[in-house]
C-alpha cells in the first residue's frame, strides 16, 4: 500500500476510534475542562496524531495506549464521583476571592490571579463595583461565579411575594420540514392539531424550516422562503393568563391583610376581575 494512502486510512481510523472513545468519556470532556480533563484532551490528541502519521509497524501500540488512557480517565472520573477527597486532590478546591465586598488578597495570590483579571471577570458578570459583591468564588474549572449583595440583586416576583405559574419549555415541533412527534407528545398535542394550525397559516410542514410551540400553545414558524411573512401569534392567551394571575394575587392580598377596609377592597376587585375573565374566556378560546 502506498505510504500516502496508508496515512489517509490511519487518519480515518484514528478519527473514528477517537470519536467513539470521546463519546464514552461523556459530555464533560467537551465542556469547560477541569485540570485532569485538560491533560486528557492533550494526551488523547497527541496519541491520535501518532496513530495517523507513524508509518512504522508499531502504530497499533498507539491504539493500545489510547484505549489505556481512556480507561484510566474513566477510572479517575469514577473515583471523583465516589470520593470528595479524590475530587479535591485531582481538581483542586473552589477558592473564595471576594467576601462581604472585600477582596481576599491571599487567595488571589494563591490562584495567581491579578486584580485586572478579577475585575475583567466581574465585568463579564455585569458587575463594575467590588463593594456590590457578597461572594466571588473561583470554581475548580477556573470559572468565577458571583453573588451580589441582597440590595443589588435583581427584583423578582418572589421578592414581591407574588406566586407565578411554572413556565413550560418551548418545544420545536417542526424541524427541516419534518414533524417531530416526541415534542408534540411532551406538550400533549397531536399531529392533527399541528396540521390544523398550519392550515390556518396556509402552510404545509414542508415549507417550514423550524416551528415551535410555547407554553401557551401558540405556534411560531420560520420558513425556508425568507421573503414570505407569517402572521404572528396573537397575545390573547398571555393576556388572559396575566389577568388570571392578577385575580389570584388580589384574592391572596385579601386573605393576608388584617385591615378590614383593605380586605373588602381587594375582595371587590377580585370579584370584578372574575366577572371580566368569564366574559373574556370565549374570545380567548377562539
CATH code, domain with 177? 3.30.240.20
Confidence at residue 31, expressed as pLDDT on a 0 to 100 scale: 47
Are 224 and 241 within one domain?
no
Other CB atoms within a 10 A radius of the CB of residue 31 amount to 10
Mean pLDDT of the chain: 78
Structural domain of 273 = 235-285
Residue 50 in grid coordinates: 501518532
Q: Total domain count for the chain?
A: 4
Q: Tell me: the pLDDT tens digits for 194-246? A: 999 898 888 888 989 999 998 778 888 888 876 666 665 555 556 666 777 77
Are 81 and 18 within one domain?
yes
Residue in this structure with the C-alpha cell 427584583, named with its chain if needed = 155
Which of the listed residues 188, 210, 232 is the one where a domain comes to its end?
Answer: 232
3-state secondary structure of 129: coil
Are 67 and 137 within one domain?
no
Residue 225 in grid coordinates: 422562503
Are 221 and 248 within one domain?
no
Cβ-in-10-Å burial (0-12, 13-18, 19+) of 57 comes to exposed
**Cα 193 to Cα 184: distance, rounded to the nearest angstrom:** 10
**Cα 136 to Cα 107: distance, rounded to the nearest angstrom:** 11
Q: Tell me: the pLDDT tens digits for 40-76? A: 777 777 777 777 666 566 667 777 777 777 787 788 7
Between residues 175 and 283, the one the model is more confident about: 175
Confidence at residue 223, expressed as pLDDT on a 0 to 100 scale: 87
How large is the C-alpha radius of gyration of the chain?
Answer: 29
The three-state (H, E, C) secondary structure of 192-230, written as one string: HHHHHHHHHCCCCHHHEEEEEECCCCCEEEEECCCCCCC
pLDDT band at 186 (very low <50, low <70, confident <90, very high): confident
Are 144 and 176 within one domain?
no
In a domain, residue 165? The reply is: no
Are 245 and 228 within one domain?
no
Which of the listed residues 202, 232, 262 is the one where a domain comes to its end?
Answer: 232
In a domain, residue 157? The reply is: no
In a domain, residue 160? The reply is: no
Are 65 and 17 within one domain?
yes
Which of the listed residues 232, 247, 267 is the one where a domain comes to its end?
Answer: 232
Residue 174 in grid coordinates: 417542526
Are 241 and 226 within one domain?
no
In a domain, residue 164? The reply is: no
In a domain, residue 158? The reply is: no
Nearest to 134 by CA among 107, 97, 99: 99
| Beta strand 208-213 pairing with 178-179 | unpaired
The three-state (H, E, C) secondary structure of 35-98, written as one string: HHHHHHHHHHHHHHHHHHHCCCCCCHHHHHHHHHHHHHHHHHHHHHHHCHHHHHHHHCCCEEEE
Between residues 105 and 79, the one the model is more confident about: 105
Amino acid at each position: 500500500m502506498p505510504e500516502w494512502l496508508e496515512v489517509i486510512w490511519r487518519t480515518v481510523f484514528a478519527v473514528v476510534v477517537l470519536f467513539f472513545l470521546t463519546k464514552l468519556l461523556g459530555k464533560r470532556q467537551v465542556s469547560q475542562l477541569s485540570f485532569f480533563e485538560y491533560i486528557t484532551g492533550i494526551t488523547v490528541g497527541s496519541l491520535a496524531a501518532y496513530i495517523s502519521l507513524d508509518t512504522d509497524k508499531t502504530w497499533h501500540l498507539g491504539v493500545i495506549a489510547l484505549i489505556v488512557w481512556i480507561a484510566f480517565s474513566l477510572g479517575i472520573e469514577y473515583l471523583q464521583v465516589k470520593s470528595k477527597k479524590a475530587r479535591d486532590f485531582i481538581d483542586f478546591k473552589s477558592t473564595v476571592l471576594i467576601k462581604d465586598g472585600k477582596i481576599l488578597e491571599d487567595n488571589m495570590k494563591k490562584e495567581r490571579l491579578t486584580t485586572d483579571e478579577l475585575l475583567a471577570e466581574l465585568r463579564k458578570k455585569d458587575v463594575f463595583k467590588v463593594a456590590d459583591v457578597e461572594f466571588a468564588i473561583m470554581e475548580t474549572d477556573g470559572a468565577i461565579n458571583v453573588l451580589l449583595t441582597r440590595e443589588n440583586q435583581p427584583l423578582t416576583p418572589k421578592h414581591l411575594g407574588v406566586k407565578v405559574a411554572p413556565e413550560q419549555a418551548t418545544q420545536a415541533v417542526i424541524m427541516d420540514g419534518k414533524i417531530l412527534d416526541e415534542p408534540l407528545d411532551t406538550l400533549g398535542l397531536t399531529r392533527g392539531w399541528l396540521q390544523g394550525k398550519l392550515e390556518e397559516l396556509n402552510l404545509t410542514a414542508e415549507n417550514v424550516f423550524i416551528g415551535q410551540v410555547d407554553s401557551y400553545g401558540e405556534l411560531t414558524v420560520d420558513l425556508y422562503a425568507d421573503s414570505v411573512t407569517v402572521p404572528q401569534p396573537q397575545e390573547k392567551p398571555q393576556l388572559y393568563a396575566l389577568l388570571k394571575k392578577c385575580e389570584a394575587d388580589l384574592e391572596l392580598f385579601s386573605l393576608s391583610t388584617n385591615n378590614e377596609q383593605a380586605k373588602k377592597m381587594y375582595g371587590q376587585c377580585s370579584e370584578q376581575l372574575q366577572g371580566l375573565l368569564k366574559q373574556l374566556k370565549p374570545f380567548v378560546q377562539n
